């Protein structure tokens, strides 16, 4: 499954993946609260309401506002959530993103999960926005990967979409990716793809298949399998990418992957490749500092 990230897609992300995100929220709350938030229970009165605001402490692109609202509402539907700055908006130090009002215990019990999610998601969105801006003069689009934090994949990929990137496969279940080890275990790309084609026919599924290629010889083998969805050009420098794209001659969409950095991204994109996938979007983004403070 592959989606082009439009504004509508960003808004529909939760609707599409609500089951997975709801499961994440439940597990994360259970992990943090356990039997009870004894600190809050010892000194707070949950019959009294208080208000708090989310304050930006570091410049970036905000992400996770919608997720924060969902988390607060799942803890207590009566909590009043007022969004002041929407997802994907550039923010400056001192900006107030939202306010919440509700029972004391519920607000503070929810605080850390909301901050953990939003700080991480905002860091990813900030990095993604910066990198997509660097290649906007090309046809190349930025993809994330499966190099995500275990059990936090959906919020991280949501953040990539918010930042203007596009989501690659979500797991091993929604797309096939034939990689070097698959090929090496079988002896050749042709043998691997023959097995793959028979497998897909046997399960009566039309899952998209991406094939990782390392050289021109492997590209030539793939040309005999026109049903391939995309070729992943692995660890190629710009000169090698240009030669590979010329050989493919538009028969398949192309994706550059492997050791692409912020410094090399523009040169890769300018080769004419259709996509560039960067694990760094999710595994190396720096969190954006945010704080939830009471409103006097």
Residue 86 lies in a domain: yes
Same domain, yes or no, for 143 and 279?
yes
Same domain, yes or no, for 120 and 154?
no
Same domain, yes or no, for 154 and 60?
no
Same domain, yes or no, for 279 and 290?
no
* pLDDT score at 43: 93
Residue 2 lies in a domain: no
Q: What is the CATH number of the domain that holds 231?
A: 3.20.20.70
- Tens of pLDDT, residue by residue over 77-118, are 999 999 999 999 999 999 999 999 999 999 999 999 999 999
Does pLDDT of 197 surpass 50? yes
Same domain, yes or no, for 174 and 207?
yes
Whole domain around residue 227: which residue ranges? 134-283
Q: Tally the domains of the chain.
A: 2
* pLDDT score at 259: 87
Same domain, yes or no, for 107 and 148?
no
* pLDDT score at 2: 37
- Tens of pLDDT, residue by residue over 33-48, are 999 999 999 999 889 9
* pLDDT score at 296: 76
- Tens of pLDDT, residue by residue over 42-68, are 999 889 999 999 999 999 999 999 999
Same domain, yes or no, for 179 and 265?
yes
- pLDDT class of 234 with cuts at 50, 70, 90: very high
Same domain, yes or no, for 189 and 93?
no
Residue 16 lies in a domain: yes
Residue 139 lies in a domain: yes
pTM: 0.94
Same domain, yes or no, for 143 and 120?
no
* pLDDT score at 12: 85
Residue 89 lies in a domain: yes
Residue 224 lies in a domain: yes
Same domain, yes or no, for 212 and 160?
yes
- Tens of pLDDT, residue by residue over 3-19, are 344 444 556 899 999 99
* pLDDT score at 11: 61
- Tens of pLDDT, residue by residue over 107-165, are 999 999 999 999 999 999 999 999 999 999 999 999 999 999 999 999 999 999 999 99
Q: What is the CATH number of the domain that holds 81?
A: 3.90.1170.20
Q: Quick one: average pLDDT of 279-291?
A: 97
Same domain, yes or no, for 160 and 176?
yes
Residue 1 lies in a domain: no
Same domain, yes or no, for 200 and 223?
yes
Does pLDDT of 198 surpass 60? yes
Average pLDDT for the chain: 95
Q: What would the 3-class secondary structure string for the chain be? A: CCCCCCHHHHHHHHHHCHHHHHHHHHHHHHHHHCCCCHHHHHHCCCCCEEEEEEEECCCEECCCHHHHHHHHHHHCCCCEEEECCCCCCEECCCCEEEEEEEEHHHHHHHHHHHHHHHHHHHHHHHHHHHHHHHCCCCCCEEECCCCCCCCCHHHHHHHHHHCCCECCCCCCCCCEEECHHHHHHHCCHHHHHHHHHHHHHHHCCCCCEEEEECCHHHHHHHCCCCCCCEEEEECCCHHHHHHHHHHHCCCCCEEEECCCCCCCHHHHHCCCCCEEECCHHHHCCCCCCEEEEECC
């Amino acid at each position: 499954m592959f989606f082009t990230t439009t504004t509508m897609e960003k808004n529909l992300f939760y609707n599409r993946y609500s089951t997975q995100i709801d499961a994440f929220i439940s597990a994360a709350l259970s992990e943090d609260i356990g039997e009870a938030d004894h600190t809050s229970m010892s000194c707070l009165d949950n019959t009294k309401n208080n208000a708090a605001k989310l304050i930006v402490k570091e410049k970036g692109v905000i992400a996770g506002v919608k997720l924060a609202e969902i988390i607060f509402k799942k803890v207590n539907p009566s909590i009043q959530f007022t969004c002041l700055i929407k997802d994907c908006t550039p923010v400056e130090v001192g900006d107030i993103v939202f306010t919440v009002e509700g029972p004391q215990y519920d607000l503070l019990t929810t605080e850390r999960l909301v901050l953990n999610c939003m700080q991480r998601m905002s860091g990813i969105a900030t990095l993604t926005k910066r990198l997509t801006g660097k290649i906007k003069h090309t046809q190349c689009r930025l993809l994330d990967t499966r190099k995500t934090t275990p059990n936090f994949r959906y919020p991280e990929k949501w953040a990539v979409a918010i930042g203007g990137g596009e989501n690659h496969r979500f797991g091993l279940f929604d797309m096939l990716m034939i990689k070097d080890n698959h090929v090496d275990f079988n002896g050749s790309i042709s043998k691997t793809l023959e097995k793959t084609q028979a497998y897909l026919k046997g399960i009566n599924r039309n899952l998209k298949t991406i094939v990782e290629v390392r050289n021109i010889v492997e590209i030539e083998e793939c040309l005999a399998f026109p049903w391939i969805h995309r070729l992943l050009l692995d660890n190629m420098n710009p000169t090698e990418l240009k030669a590979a794209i010329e050989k493919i001659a538009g028969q398949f969409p192309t994706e550059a992957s492997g050791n692409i950095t912020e410094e090399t991204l523009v040169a890769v994109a300018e080769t004419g490749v259709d996509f560039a996938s960067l694990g760094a979007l999710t595994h190396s983004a720096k969190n954006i500092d945010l704080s939830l403070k009471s409103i006097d």
